[in-house]
Amino acid sequence: MTKFSIQPESSTVNWTGKKILGLHTGTINIQSGYISFEQENLTGGEVVIDMTSIIITDIKDPKMRKDFLDHLNNDDFFSVDHFKTSKLTISNAEKIDNRYRIDGHLTIKDLTNPVSFTASVEIFTDFLHILGEIVIDRTLYHMKYGSGKFLSNLGDQLIHDEFILQFKLIGQK
Protein backbone atom coordinates (compact mmCIF):
# COMPACT_ATOMS: atom_id res chain seq x y z
CA MET A 1 0.00 0.00 0.00
CA THR A 2 1.13 3.54 -0.80
CA LYS A 3 0.08 6.44 1.38
CA PHE A 4 0.24 10.10 0.39
CA SER A 5 0.12 12.69 3.17
CA ILE A 6 -1.95 15.73 2.24
CA GLN A 7 0.13 18.91 2.21
CA PRO A 8 -2.20 21.54 3.77
CA GLU A 9 -0.07 24.51 2.70
CA SER A 10 -0.24 23.44 -0.98
CA SER A 11 -3.88 22.27 -1.01
CA THR A 12 -6.96 24.48 -1.39
CA VAL A 13 -10.68 24.23 -0.63
CA ASN A 14 -13.04 26.87 -2.03
CA TRP A 15 -16.68 27.03 -0.97
CA THR A 16 -19.75 28.54 -2.63
CA GLY A 17 -23.13 29.03 -1.01
CA LYS A 18 -26.05 30.25 -3.11
CA LYS A 19 -29.16 32.22 -2.24
CA ILE A 20 -32.01 33.62 -4.30
CA LEU A 21 -30.33 36.99 -4.86
CA GLY A 22 -26.76 35.82 -5.39
CA LEU A 23 -24.04 33.79 -3.77
CA HIS A 24 -21.17 33.93 -1.30
CA THR A 25 -17.69 32.49 -1.73
CA GLY A 26 -14.70 31.75 0.41
CA THR A 27 -11.98 29.35 1.42
CA ILE A 28 -11.34 26.92 4.24
CA ASN A 29 -8.11 25.17 5.23
CA ILE A 30 -7.22 21.52 5.38
CA GLN A 31 -5.78 20.55 8.75
CA SER A 32 -4.41 17.11 7.83
CA GLY A 33 -5.11 13.98 5.87
CA TYR A 34 -3.91 11.15 3.69
CA ILE A 35 -4.94 9.24 0.56
CA SER A 36 -4.15 5.52 0.18
CA PHE A 37 -3.47 3.54 -2.99
CA GLU A 38 -3.07 -0.15 -3.71
CA GLN A 39 -1.18 -0.74 -6.98
CA GLU A 40 -2.05 2.75 -8.26
CA ASN A 41 -5.77 2.37 -7.42
CA LEU A 42 -7.24 4.74 -4.84
CA THR A 43 -8.50 2.66 -1.91
CA GLY A 44 -9.17 5.06 0.96
CA GLY A 45 -8.24 8.17 2.83
CA GLU A 46 -9.20 10.87 5.24
CA VAL A 47 -9.24 14.66 5.02
CA VAL A 48 -9.69 16.81 8.14
CA ILE A 49 -10.92 20.39 7.65
CA ASP A 50 -10.11 23.20 10.10
CA MET A 51 -13.53 24.84 10.60
CA THR A 52 -11.93 27.77 12.44
CA SER A 53 -10.24 28.82 9.18
CA ILE A 54 -13.36 29.86 7.22
CA ILE A 55 -12.66 32.96 5.12
CA ILE A 56 -15.21 34.95 3.11
CA THR A 57 -13.83 36.25 -0.19
CA ASP A 58 -16.79 38.02 -1.82
CA ILE A 59 -17.70 40.63 0.83
CA LYS A 60 -15.32 43.60 0.80
CA ASP A 61 -16.85 45.70 3.62
CA PRO A 62 -15.00 44.63 6.84
CA LYS A 63 -18.03 44.95 9.14
CA MET A 64 -20.37 43.06 6.78
CA ARG A 65 -17.72 40.37 6.25
CA LYS A 66 -17.22 39.96 10.04
CA ASP A 67 -20.99 39.83 10.67
CA PHE A 68 -21.44 37.15 8.01
CA LEU A 69 -18.46 35.15 9.30
CA ASP A 70 -19.88 35.30 12.83
CA HIS A 71 -23.19 34.02 11.41
CA LEU A 72 -21.47 31.08 9.64
CA ASN A 73 -19.57 30.24 12.84
CA ASN A 74 -22.64 30.29 15.10
CA ASP A 75 -25.25 27.58 15.69
CA ASP A 76 -27.31 28.60 12.62
CA PHE A 77 -24.58 27.01 10.50
CA PHE A 78 -21.30 25.36 11.60
CA SER A 79 -21.21 25.84 15.42
CA VAL A 80 -17.45 26.29 15.19
CA ASP A 81 -17.01 26.89 18.94
CA HIS A 82 -18.21 23.32 19.54
CA PHE A 83 -17.03 21.60 16.34
CA LYS A 84 -13.58 22.80 15.31
CA THR A 85 -13.05 20.19 12.60
CA SER A 86 -15.01 18.36 9.92
CA LYS A 87 -13.86 15.17 8.25
CA LEU A 88 -14.21 13.31 4.96
CA THR A 89 -13.48 9.58 5.11
CA ILE A 90 -13.10 7.76 1.78
CA SER A 91 -14.56 4.26 1.89
CA ASN A 92 -14.59 3.28 -1.78
CA ALA A 93 -13.30 4.54 -5.13
CA GLU A 94 -13.95 3.31 -8.63
CA LYS A 95 -11.75 4.35 -11.53
CA ILE A 96 -13.71 5.45 -14.59
CA ASP A 97 -11.46 6.55 -17.46
CA ASN A 98 -9.12 9.21 -16.02
CA ARG A 99 -11.39 10.02 -13.06
CA TYR A 100 -12.55 8.34 -9.90
CA ARG A 101 -16.05 8.05 -8.50
CA ILE A 102 -15.41 8.37 -4.78
CA ASP A 103 -17.78 7.29 -2.01
CA GLY A 104 -17.30 8.14 1.60
CA HIS A 105 -18.69 9.73 4.71
CA LEU A 106 -18.66 13.41 5.59
CA THR A 107 -18.83 14.46 9.23
CA ILE A 108 -19.87 18.03 10.07
CA LYS A 109 -20.98 19.02 13.60
CA ASP A 110 -20.53 15.37 14.69
CA LEU A 111 -23.19 14.31 12.17
CA THR A 112 -22.07 11.82 9.52
CA ASN A 113 -23.70 11.29 6.13
CA PRO A 114 -22.69 9.45 2.95
CA VAL A 115 -21.26 11.47 0.06
CA SER A 116 -20.32 10.63 -3.54
CA PHE A 117 -18.36 12.74 -5.98
CA THR A 118 -15.95 12.51 -8.89
CA ALA A 119 -12.36 13.69 -8.93
CA SER A 120 -9.36 13.62 -11.22
CA VAL A 121 -6.36 11.90 -9.66
CA GLU A 122 -2.79 12.06 -10.91
CA ILE A 123 0.33 10.50 -9.41
CA PHE A 124 3.74 11.96 -10.24
CA THR A 125 6.26 9.57 -8.62
CA ASP A 126 6.26 10.93 -5.04
CA PHE A 127 3.43 13.46 -5.44
CA LEU A 128 -0.33 13.23 -5.73
CA HIS A 129 -2.66 15.79 -7.33
CA ILE A 130 -6.46 15.53 -6.90
CA LEU A 131 -9.06 17.96 -8.26
CA GLY A 132 -12.75 17.62 -7.48
CA GLU A 133 -16.01 19.06 -6.28
CA ILE A 134 -18.45 17.93 -3.60
CA VAL A 135 -22.05 19.14 -3.40
CA ILE A 136 -23.27 19.05 0.22
CA ASP A 137 -26.84 19.31 1.51
CA ARG A 138 -26.38 21.46 4.62
CA THR A 139 -29.76 20.44 6.06
CA LEU A 140 -28.40 16.91 6.67
CA TYR A 141 -26.10 18.57 9.24
CA HIS A 142 -28.88 20.48 11.04
CA MET A 143 -28.22 23.76 9.22
CA LYS A 144 -31.80 24.84 8.67
CA TYR A 145 -31.38 28.64 8.66
CA GLY A 146 -33.08 30.12 5.58
CA SER A 147 -33.99 26.69 4.18
CA GLY A 148 -37.19 26.33 2.19
CA LYS A 149 -37.49 22.74 3.49
CA PHE A 150 -38.19 24.01 6.99
CA LEU A 151 -39.45 27.58 6.63
CA SER A 152 -42.12 28.94 4.30
CA ASN A 153 -42.58 32.40 2.78
CA LEU A 154 -38.86 33.20 2.76
CA GLY A 155 -39.08 35.04 -0.56
CA ASP A 156 -35.72 36.57 -1.45
CA GLN A 157 -34.28 35.47 1.93
CA LEU A 158 -34.20 31.80 0.82
CA ILE A 159 -30.78 30.16 1.03
CA HIS A 160 -30.17 27.11 -1.15
CA ASP A 161 -29.75 23.91 0.85
CA GLU A 162 -26.72 22.77 -1.13
CA PHE A 163 -23.29 24.32 -0.95
CA ILE A 164 -20.26 23.40 -3.04
CA LEU A 165 -16.69 22.58 -2.06
CA GLN A 166 -14.15 22.71 -4.89
CA PHE A 167 -10.81 21.29 -3.87
CA LYS A 168 -7.24 20.74 -4.97
CA LEU A 169 -5.33 18.26 -2.83
CA ILE A 170 -1.58 17.89 -3.05
CA GLY A 171 -0.09 14.84 -1.38
CA GLN A 172 3.41 13.55 -0.87
CA LYS A 173 4.66 10.00 -0.19
**Left (φ > 0), alpha (ψ -120 to 50) or beta: where does 148 sit?**
alpha
Q: The domain containing residue 65 runs over which residues?
A: 2-172
Nearest C-alpha neighbor of 129 from the set 45, 27, 10: 10
According to the model, what pLDDT value does residue 156 have?
A: 47
What's the CA gap between 101 and 69, in Å, rounded?
Answer: 33
What's the CA gap between 162 and 173, in Å, rounded?
Answer: 34
CATH number of the domain where residue 54 is located: 2.40.128.110
When divided into structural domains, the chain yields a total of: 1
pTM reported for the whole predicted model: 0.90
Handedness of CA 109, 101, 53, 70 (dihedral sign): negative
Residues in the chain, pLDDT under 70: 144-160
According to the model, what pLDDT value does residue 155 have?
A: 44
